[in-house]
Chain A
Amino acid sequence: MSDHTTAGDEYRDAWQAAYEAAQLRDTAFSTMSGVEVDPVYGEGPYPGQYPYTRGIHASMYRSRLWTMRMFAGFGTAEDTNVRFKELLRNGGTGLSTAFDMPTLMGRDSDSEWSLGEVGRAGVAVDTLADMEDLFADIDLSGVSTSMTINGPAPIVMAMYIAVAEKTGVERAALSGTIQNDIFKEYQAQKEYIFPPRPSVRLITDMMRFTSAEMPRWHPVSVSGYHIREAGSTAAQELAFTIANGFAYVEAATAAGLDVDAFAPRLSFFFNAHSDFFEEIGKFRAARRIWARWMKERYGAEDPKSHMLRFHTQTAGVSLTAQQPRNNIARVATQALSAALGGTQSLHTDSYDEALALPTEEAARIALRTQQIVAHETGVTNVADPLGGAPYVEWMTDEMERQAEEVFAHLDRLGDGSILEGVYAGIEDGYFVSEIAEASYRFQREVNSGQRIIVGVNAFTEGNEDSEQNLLRIDPGVEDLQRKRLAAVKSDRDDTAVDAALARVRADAADPGTNLMPAFIDAVSAYATLEEVVEALESEFGRYTEKAVI
């Protein structure tokens, strides 16, 4: 429901004080025609005030623009390292790593399962040696790194820590995010390894470890992006994602962590799709729901625990293979919705992503697109510039209402526990079938022409011109990576590896032991990702999905 109250003056005074205390960017906050504009308009609660519907900071983008975080990764670690340096030179302010499918599934490049997928859709990481190549000549204390990996996340995190410490950067100085969100894997992206409960233990181990030793790290990025890409509606994306967030909060508190010790480090990741106002309403509703539940249901007292921070990526699934350059326009409007929704960081998709991994040129246009939104449109001058608009407030309320229906369902399913409700919804196929139903409904609307997608079912003149300049991954990468792995295996001390893996198995068998130290040990001895995963599998088992439509 709407936040408008009559305590307007108190809100205004508090906002004014917070705004004046904030450091502002050194730029003119006026329109292109020279009209001075206020930092915020409308009524309270204002940006930076509970329940944060209007944003988490009083001054929003006047203080700091969103982080322009472009996801990259392909081929060998060395190839990706070159792309990272290129992004940093071009004004990117954070690194974001895409791993190849074998890495995401905890398989080594020499596994039978990895055939044809090594280095194709991201970078291949088998051992610490690959991680060393990936971040070579980059000062890890000076960048923030995002690693998009889930099933084997704690092992890859251990590699990142080991690389940093080898180059003299202490773990406490590391800043970044690891996705580490397993629930949406069972629900949407399907990159799970172990069954849900032991997987959640790995996550709570990491949350405990980072909250004690890595104060600048975000140990979980609760991700709706993939739920949306799998075909959900905006409201389902919102509801399932936030419910997953609640489930992690319940899991961590059940593991003995104080909610205010970890909640400020949780972050979220949403999709910016094509329906402009629906997306803006979704972002605003997400902040309000999180604030209320964290305060009222989970008893969090630190305002930082109430604030929902999020990364956004434009909707890959909205990009068309037909007339691919039209995608630049789609990405621009989606990026604008993220800015108007108050995102903390943004990845803009490249126009050629419906065809292949982005070329360097396409990735540059994507980065330029968000720079244009940030620096030319003027939307960064005013916090929550659409707040108070009747349609936007209605849409925000509507998104919240639909999400609350889902929370009520999960709460019933879990007998008063959202965590148990999420486990049950994974078990009984609730999430998968809701998403599949929504995606099929959308596809039928496109098929029948009821929903127009430019270049797909309308305005198809020009479809015959094919995009010539596509990134091709050299199939030799697979061979190269296998040889690299073989060399690392022959150089290492196998006795040390065996001992380290034995410790992983022993620690996995004891739910009271945090697994992170054993992982750091194992990867430092150059145990491979798959070796550590198999050590865990011997205790945890492996998850398979029932093939039901």
Chain B
Amino acid sequence: MADPQIRIVLAKLGLDGHDRGLRVVTRMLRDAGFEVVYLGLRQTTEMVVSAAIQEDADAVGLSLHNASHMTLAPRMVQALRDADLDIPVIVGGIIPDDDIGPLRDAGVAAILGPGASAADVAQAVRDAVAGSATV
């Protein structure tokens, strides 16, 4: 069972409007007992940082579908570091295999691709929060 304490902020950065995945993940995580703060579309890294502080979040989840992950995900990691927030960033969406290594190197804690099950998603969040994330 999920730790009921885990609270995650979910957001879409930038202009991309593909929110089906993030909406489904929000429901999956809520059903699994997580507390989800759904920020929705058109968020900036600053907006996500301020929500993470306000909500005392344990993790940040981003959904990226527009090949912008190599630009936006590292910026999110950096923005949290700059705000002294030591919480993991989890990325879901269309991420080619070749980009997984560089994203991990940039500090992304976990990467979830298309077809990840509800159990995969919940486990990835738990592991990331516990600091033992695996891709």
Contacts and interface: CB of A to CB of B under 8 A. Distances in A.
Interface in B50-80: 66-68, 70-72, 75
B96 A355 contact: yes
Contacts of A546: 40
Contacts of B35: none
B117 A547 contact: no
16 contacts: A101-B66, A113-B14, A115-B68, A116-B72, A117-B15, A120-B66, A191-B17, A320-B114, A322-B115, A436-B23, A440-B27, A470-B96, A547-B39, A547-B41, A549-B23, A549-B30
Given A115-B71, A356-B96, A189 B17 contact: yes
Contacts of A304: none
Interface string B10-21: 000011111110
Determine chain A's interface SS by DSSP, over half rule. Answer: loop
Interface in B18-33: 18-20, 23-24, 26-28, 30
B113 interface: yes
Contacts of A453: 115
B42 interface: yes
Interface in B105-119: 113-115, 117-119
The 10 closest A-B pairs by CB, nearest first: A116-B71, A547-B40, A190-B17, A116-B68, A120-B67, A321-B114, A101-B15, A105-B15, A456-B115, A121-B66
Interface string B97-135: 110000000000000011101110000000000000000
Given A116-B71, A549-B23, A321 B66 contact: no
A90 B18 CA distance: 31
A107 B114 contact: no
A114 interface: yes
B87 interface: no
Contact of A355 (B30, B36, B68, B94): B94
A439 B72 CA distance: 26
Given A456-B115, A549-B26, 10 more contacts: A104-B15, A115-B14, A116-B68, A116-B72, A117-B68, A321-B113, A355-B96, A444-B118, A447-B117, A457-B117
Nearest to A120: B67
Contacts of A548: 38
A440 B24 contact: yes
A447 B118 contact: yes
Question: Most chain-A Cβ atoms within 10 A of its Cβ — which of B28, B38, B72, B117?
Answer: B117
A470 B99 CA distance: 12
Contact of B28 (A185, A356, A443, A475): A443
Interface residues on B, range: 35 or more
Contacts of B98: 470
A72 to B, nearest CB: 16
A466 interface: yes
Interface string A326-357: 00000000000000000000000000001111
B24 A354 contact: no
A544 B70 CA distance: 26
Interface in A230-245: 230-231
Nearest to B37: A547
Interface in A164-207: 185, 189-191
Interface of A: 101-102, 104-105, 107, 113-117, 120-121, 185, 189-191, 229-231, 317, 320-322, 354-357, 436, 439-440, 443-444, 447, 453, 456-457, 466, 470, 472-473, 475, 544-549
Contacts of A443: 24, 28, 118
B127 to A, nearest CB: 19
Contacts of B20: 229-231, 317, 439
Contacts of B16: 101, 117, 121
A228 to B, nearest CB: 11
Nearest to B40: A547
A322 B15 CA distance: 27
Nearest to A455: B115
A466 B97 contact: yes
B73 to A, nearest CB: 9
Question: Most chain-B Cβ atoms within 10 A of its Cβ — which of A321, A456, A470, A549?
Answer: A549
B115 A321 contact: yes
B26 to A, nearest CB: 5
Contacts of B67: 117, 120-121, 356-357, 473
Contacts of B118: 443-444, 447
A114 B15 contact: yes
Question: Most chain-B Cβ atoms within 10 A of its Cβ — which of A229, A436, A447, A547?
Answer: A547
A549 B22 CA distance: 10
A101 B14 contact: yes
A320 B67 CA distance: 17
A546 B39 CA distance: 9
A117 B14 contact: yes
B80 to A, nearest CB: 17
A107 B42 CA distance: 13
Contacts of A444: 118
Given A191-B17, A436-B23, A473-B67, A320 B115 contact: yes
A440 B68 CA distance: 25
A470 B67 CA distance: 12
Nearest to A355: B96
B115 A102 contact: no
Contact of A116 (B17, B36, B70): B70
Question: Most chain-A Cβ atoms within 10 A of its Cβ — which of B39, B70, B115, B117?
Answer: B115
Contacts of B96: 355-356, 470, 472
Question: Most chain-B Cβ atoms within 10 A of its Cβ — which of A116, A229, A356, A475?
Answer: A116
Nearest to B13: A116
A260 B28 CA distance: 48
Contact of A545 (B15, B40, B94): B40
Contacts of A447: 117-119
